Structure 1
Amino acid sequence: MALRRLRPGIGKPAVVLAALTLLLAACGEDGGGSSNSAGNGRTKLKVAALPLTDSAALYIARDRGLFEKEGLDVTIQPVQQSIQALPALSKGQVDVIASANYVTFLQADEKGTLDLRILAEGVRTAPHMMDVLVPEDSKVKTVADLAGKKVAVNILNNIQSLTLNAILDKQGVGRPVYRQIAFPQMGPALERGQVDAVHAVEPFDSAIQGELKAKVLMDGGSAPVQSLPISGYVTTKKFATDHPEAAAAFRRAIEAASKIAATEPSAVRDELPKYTKVTAEQAQTIGLPAYPTSTDAAQLRRLTRLMEDQGLLKSSIDPATLLVK
């Protein structure tokens, strides 16, 4: 991945607005796509997705005919941040968001801006599926050196800062100052010295290491956040209520694809070059997350408790009430 050739400013408000405008235009003006017939006996669904390893099951389901088997005609709309698609989801202009980070959507549900439902789990943390990276010649030598330093995360007060804070708290060291920088721009920001470190997920993690010779300061999937649910396939209560058969069919297809991803890592590595900027060669070595084959409310409670502890949720929430059966 040639990070230097990526356009700067992806995460700036004007560009986020432009990306959202394009998303809505691509999704059309007619509201939820699930109520539309595909003309071939299949139900049409519109799914927004990030170009991350989190979305692998979505593309496996598409390319292995698992959606078709369930009678679904799925259109995938790429986005750079799942939060960009949140307004479209709430308005019914997309039906599902894949690789949606739970923190953002749980917060939106609590605030009442989204009536959230979780269709299926996306991924859980695994060793080196995300890392804190520093330049090769960085003065930041240990985890303790991060205290007060500038660290890039994709979205502020979200899953990356949540998990990193938990790790640092467990080790008894100070927290950094977070800067919001979109994943594609983390490499250039690190290279220009705009931040002292980046908390990058795959496939950007390996790309930054490869191009900039950046060093891994810390495994972002280590204790106490190992195997923590971090993203999923989310929809609204309205969609789940109005289209229960389509929701159940989508969940079955994703869970079948997740089983393939969990048992055949090569399937994920073969899929990545199709929807990310990762080359086939790079895909063979990047760190993969864990792909759960079913949704576990008990594991999701680990996440919500962590959010409550860090003030990202104002009240307790039972994730079981948000699961689509």
Structure 2
Amino acid sequence: MRQSLRLSALVSALALAASVITGCGDSDSSGGGGNGLETDSIKVASLPLADGASLYVAQKAGLFKKEGLKVEIVPVQKSTDAQPALIKGDVNIIAGANYVSFLQAEEKGTLKLSIVAPAATLTSNMMNVLVKPDSKIKTAKDLEGKTVAINILNNIQSLTLNSILKANNVDATKVKYVSVPFPQMAAALEKGQVDAIHTVEPFLSDTEKKLGARVAVDGGSEPVTGLAISGFVSTQEWTKKNPKTAAAFQRAIINAQKLSTQDRKKVEEVLPGYAKMDPEVASVITLPGYPTSLSKTRIKGVADLMVSSGLLKKTPDLDSILFHPTA
């Protein structure tokens, strides 16, 4: 352990002297050093989805280093899988965390939620309902009485899809949802275990390519187009203890969101690495929207929809949940 610490200190010292190690902070990992931060080391849990692309854009562009931060990325398959680690302090932030799960956890008292930065908003054809090419399911109405695979039950997918179904005069109570992890959805559809899958990129484009699957319902259509679906979340305990560090991270992510919005290629360059995606697929998939500000109105939109759908009892106190740096 001592050798490891000595090695870490040596590497950090070399980074300070040479300023050539990409993605590392300008001081050692034991504290904020001379940059005024409470700590310059952050552990961020990340999913293999396009939602959290700005985390990698920021790292690649040196935006964390510019803020004096050293960010260690911990891959996870579901944002909810990282929730226990967040509560324990084993990770400090979760990238691309779906708002539904974490707003529910906040209401249940599982954690005191702090949304540090926005991640993604829903765009047309970013999260679609796919069926086999020979399926008789042609429209939203045809989903009545059918089984649809979603990643997590009673979450963002059923929330948004139910809204679309109701807008199209479909009885959403007649649609049966089953939980299937995104990477396993294509196989479940191919084997006939489900009638349709509600999937996201990059799995969406991959399933269309390999199975010839077709879109039955645009999962990003009205009335949920532009809905806030995910963010970079932490705990209020961590952001209150480390407000300058949280603010530095927020600035880096917001700047990365701007880069992602202005230049799609910034996202395409990072997707193959962390999302294990073919570069050709990365160049054609539908990306989410990348908000460039932490908007109370935007978060309230998804919270209100959750309340009307019974996923929350009441709209949460967003003033305490959204992290805003002090002057």
TM-score category of the 2 structures, normalised to the smaller one: 0.7 to 0.9
- Give the TM-score taking structure 1 as reference length: 0.87
For residues 248-287 of structure 1, what are the structure 2 equivalents within 5 Å? 248-287=247-286
In structure 2, the CA distance between the partners of 1:189 and 1:249, relative to structure 1 (3 Å rule), is same
For the 8 Å contact 1:54–1:122, the answer to whether it is kept is yes
Q: Which residue of 2 aligns with 1:211?
A: 210
Q: Which residue of 2 aligns with 1:7?
A: none
- Return the offset for 1:301: 1.1
Q: What is the SS of the residue equivalent to 1:260?
A: helix
- Return the offset for 1:277: 1.9
Between the aligned partners of 1:214 and 1:319, the Cα distance in structure 2 is 40
Q: Which residue of 2 aligns with 1:29?
A: none
> Where in structure 1 do 4 or more consecutive aligned residues deviate above 6 Å?
38-42
For residues 11-22 of structure 1, what are the structure 2 equivalents within 5 Å? none
Q: Which residue of 1 aligns with 2:31?
A: 37
Q: Which residue of 2 aligns with 1:17?
A: none
- Return the offset for 1:38: 8.3
Between the aligned partners of 2:75 and 2:33, the Cα distance in structure 1 is 24
For the 8 Å contact 2:127–2:200, the answer to whether it is kept is yes
Q: Which residue of 1 aligns with 2:312?
A: 313
In structure 2, the CA distance between the partners of 1:151 and 1:40, relative to structure 1 (3 Å rule), is farther
In structure 2, the CA distance between the partners of 1:300 and 1:39, relative to structure 1 (3 Å rule), is closer
Amino acid at match of 2:165: L
**Based on CA coordinates, which of the two structures has the bigger radius of gyration?**
2
Amino acid at match of 2:129: V
- Give the TM-score taking structure 2 as reference length: 0.87
Match among 156, 161, 165 for residue 159 of structure 1: 156
Amino acid at match of 2:180: I
For the 8 Å contact 1:99–1:122, the answer to whether it is kept is yes
Q: Which residue of 1 aligns with 2:57?
A: 60
- Return the offset for 1:39: 8.0
Q: What is the SS of the residue equivalent to 2:178?
A: strand
Q: Which residue of 2 aligns with 1:183?
A: 182
Q: What is the SS of the residue equivalent to 1:294?
A: coil
For the 8 Å contact 1:116–1:236, the answer to whether it is kept is yes
- Return the offset for 1:250: 0.4
- Map Cα deviations across residues 29-79 of structure 1 (whole Å, 9 max, x no partner): xxxxx9833889771100001000001100000111000100110000110
Amino acid at match of 2:159: L
For residues 281-296 of structure 1, what are the structure 2 equivalents within 5 Å? 281-296=280-295
Q: What is the SS of the residue equivalent to 1:173?
A: coil
RMSD over aligned Cα, in angstroms? 1.6
Consecutive unaligned residues of structure 1, counting only runs of 5 or more, are 1-33
Q: What is the SS of the residue equivalent to 2:120?
A: strand
Amino acid at match of 1:152: A
Q: Which residue of 1 aligns with 2:301?
A: 302
Q: Which residue of 2 aligns with 1:172?
A: 169
- Map Cα deviations across residues 201-258 of structure 1 (whole Å, 9 max, x no partner): 1111101111110000111111000100000000001100100011000000000000
Q: Which residue of 1 aligns with 2:122?
A: 125
Q: How many residues align?
A: 292
Between the aligned partners of 2:176 and 2:319, the Cα distance in structure 1 is 33
For the 8 Å contact 2:145–2:176, the answer to whether it is kept is yes
Q: What is the SS of the residue equivalent to 1:152?
A: strand
Match among 83, 88, 100 for residue 80 of structure 2: 83
Q: Which residue of 2 aligns with 1:71?
A: 68
Between the aligned partners of 2:62 and 2:34, the Cα distance in structure 1 is 15
- Return the offset for 1:148: 2.2
Match among 92, 96, 100 for residue 93 of structure 2: 96
- Return the offset for 1:321: 2.7
Q: What is the SS of the residue equivalent to 2:273?
A: helix
- Return the offset for 1:319: 2.4
Q: What is the SS of the residue equivalent to 2:149?
A: strand
Q: What is the SS of the residue equivalent to 2:45?
A: strand
Between the aligned partners of 2:236 and 2:184, the Cα distance in structure 1 is 34
Between the aligned partners of 1:140 and 1:93, the Cα distance in structure 2 is 45
Between the aligned partners of 1:65 and 1:299, the Cα distance in structure 2 is 28
Consecutive unaligned residues of structure 2, counting only runs of 5 or more, are 1-27
For the 8 Å contact 1:146–1:174, the answer to whether it is kept is no
Amino acid at match of 2:31: S
For the 8 Å contact 2:127–2:218, the answer to whether it is kept is yes
Q: Which residue of 2 aligns with 1:115?
A: 112
Q: What is the SS of the residue equivalent to 1:232?
A: strand
For the 8 Å contact 1:38–1:73, the answer to whether it is kept is no
Between the aligned partners of 1:310 and 1:148, the Cα distance in structure 2 is 20
